[in-house]
Amino acid sequence: MNPIIWWKRLIASQSLKKKWAFSSATVIFLSFATMSIILFIALKGWLYQQEEQEVNRTMVDLMTFFESQGHFLTVQDIQANTGLMTSIVNKNQTIRLLNIDGIEILRINKTSTFQPFNSIDFPRKGYLINTGDSSSITAVGIVKLGRFNGYVQLEHPLKSFQSIITYILTAMLLFSLCSLLLSGWIGYILASYLLKPLQDLKVTMDDVVAHGFEKDLTISYDAKDEIGELIDVYASMMAKLKSSFEQQQQFIADASHELRTPIQVVEGHLALLNRWGKYDPVVLDESLGISLREVNQMKTLIDEMLELARGEQIKERPPTNIVEYTIEVIKELSQIHPSAYIEHILPARMEMEVLISSNAYQQIIRNILSNAIRYSKSPAHVCISYKKTPLEIIVNVKDHGIGIAPQHVLKIFDRFYRVDPVRTRNLGGSGLGLSIVKMLIENASGSIHVISEEGKGSTFTMVFPLLFEDL
């Protein structure tokens, strides 16, 4: 396998904490190693330069000493110059004096060995420093004492320099290794601390997978960073999913309950007909009439459930002139309920447009008016009026019906909720009409409110935002 591919797979298989620790350790180590290398090169160059300066100073002192002796030089003269001798000994340098043929005449401080005479580069005047050898620095100078012509040779060992360089290099390597381990450990601890909310989030997700929505989100994280935003988004998403799941469960339970009743009624009448009603015209007509009514009730219920499901998914909101479509719905209901009186108070300006589809608005106003007529004493009297504010269009539908008790007002928009189940069933209601109305209005960014007094009637107020061009 390709080493690069293997390395990528190895990194991909590690946890985020290990990746974080490894990345931080690598970055810190490389940064420290780069700085150490630069510092080592600079320090080595500076120290070597110091060694060259020591050689240069010694050669200057030697050349000056020889020039000051005139035509004669004795061993006693050399020994008398204690400062120069002490400096040579302390620097561990070795000095020798050669004649023109390379024969050694004098040696001071025998601590080093010299290279062969025939391999030495001699200067034409003064002295020459040779730095080509890694173990020492050598220098050769021309000496003239009367009729004596020769050379002075200096050998400056680099043992102390190399020891210092080795010590510095070892120390830097140890510090680099320690920085690698320390940065890896600190990176792992820091990653564990910073990623703890994500670990808690994973545990919560595992609980949701294992137990559903039974457990609530228990992550405590107050920082306003990316992880905090992620947790907030997750909490919001889970709340919506939980609410949707609970609504779905409740919807299925309610729908099953609502469908069970008409099915049982039809089943009972079919059983009655099967036993003895098929030969009795009166029982047969009554049972078939009731069964057909219940089948129609089930059909209406299923249609409204499908409409509710479709409405929750469709968010299309084209502009609609609500006054125009209110008139159409009133004409339609007047034919169905000829005894009902629907008072329509038209606004001063007939064009009142809101962002909602015409079908949706017709369904809203049809449901509200049908309920108002259904729950009013005959002849029903319903009044529709409009109000336009700088930001909203308000539609009021007021009836003089039986009204709604205070304890039921907040629940009438719940699915399948009925104030009086027996009366509602007899009047043909399914308990979904107002739920559909509320859903459609909220899809149009509007709201609906109701004020009711038992025995006197109810007023439904629908509020829609005004179009931007009308502002």
Domain residue extents for the chain: 207-313, 316-470
Classify domain 316-470 at the CATH topology level: Heat Shock Protein 90 (3.30.565)
**pLDDT above 90: percentage of residues in the chain:** 21
> C-alpha distances in angstroms, 408 versus 119, 272, 308, 414?
116, 37, 22, 10
Dist CA 178 CA 180 (whole Å): 5
Residues sharing a CB contact under 8 Å with residue 22, sequence separation 6 or more, in sequence order:
11, 14, 184, 187
Cβ atoms 448, 461 nearer than 8 A: yes
Which backbone phi and psi does 73 adopt, to 5 degrees?
-145, 130
pLDDT of residue 333: 86
* Helix axes 196-211 and 226-275, enclosed angle (nearest 10): 10
b/e string for 242-260 if b means 16 or more Cβ within 10 A? Answer: beeeeeeeebeebbeebee
- On the question of a common fold for 207-313 and 316-470, the answer reads no
For residue 100 the two structure tokens come to 């023109």
Q: Does domain 207-313 have CATH number 1.10.287.130?
A: yes
Residue 424 pLDDT level (bands cut at 50, 70, 90): very low
Phi, then psi, of 438 in degrees rounded to 5: -65, -40
What are 353's two structure tokens?
A: 């447009």
- pLDDT bin (cut points 50, 70, 90) of residue 446 is very high
Residue 84: the pLDDT is 85
Q: Which residues of 357-367 are buried (b: 16+ CB within 10 A; e: fewer)?
A: beebbbbbbbb
Spatial distance between the Cα atoms of 219 and 203, rounded to a whole number of angstroms = 10
CA dihedral 371, 372, 373, 378 (to 10 degrees): 130
Answer yes or no: are the C-beta atoms of 458 and 451 closer than 8 Å.
Answer: yes
Q: Which of helix, strand or coil describes residue 9?
A: helix
Encode pLDDT of 312-324 as tens digits. Answer: 544 556 788 999 9
User: Measured between alpha carbons, how far is 44 from 42 in angstroms, rounded to an integer?
Assistant: 6
* Cα–Cα distance measured from residue 332 to residue 334, given in angstroms and rounded to the nearest whole number: 6
CA distances to 198, 297, 410 from 258, rounded to whole Å, are 44, 10, 21
Phi, psi values for residue 97, rounded to 5°: -110, 125
Helix/strand number for the chain, H first, E second: 13, 12
Query: Quick one: DSSP state of residue 2?
Result: -
SS3 395: strand
Nearest to 446 by CA among 460, 432, 430: 460
Q: What is the CA radius of gyration of the chain?
A: 52
The answer, as to whether pTM is greater than 0.75, is no
Task: Check residue 454 and report its DSSP letter.
Answer: T
With both helix axes pointing from N to C terminus, report the angle between 159-194 and 16-68 in degrees, rounded to the nearest 10.
Answer: 160
From residue 227, alpha-carbon distances to 20, 192, 199, 221 in Å are 16, 14, 11, 9
More confident residue, 378 or 254: 378
Mean pLDDT for 220-238 is: 76
- Sequence-distant (6+) residues with CB within 8 A of 221 are 197, 200, 227, 228, 231
Q: How confident is the model at residue 56 (pLDDT cuts 50, 70, 90)?
A: very high
Note the pLDDT of residue 44.
Answer: 92
Structure confidence at residue 459 (pLDDT): 94
Question: What is the rounded average pLDDT of the residues 110-120?
Answer: 79
Q: For residues 130 and 154, give the distance between their C-alpha atoms in angstroms, rounded to a whole number.
A: 10
pLDDT at site 309: 60
Using one digit for the tens of pLDDT, what is the confidence trace for 239-275?
Answer: 888 777 776 776 676 667 666 666 777 787 778 777 7
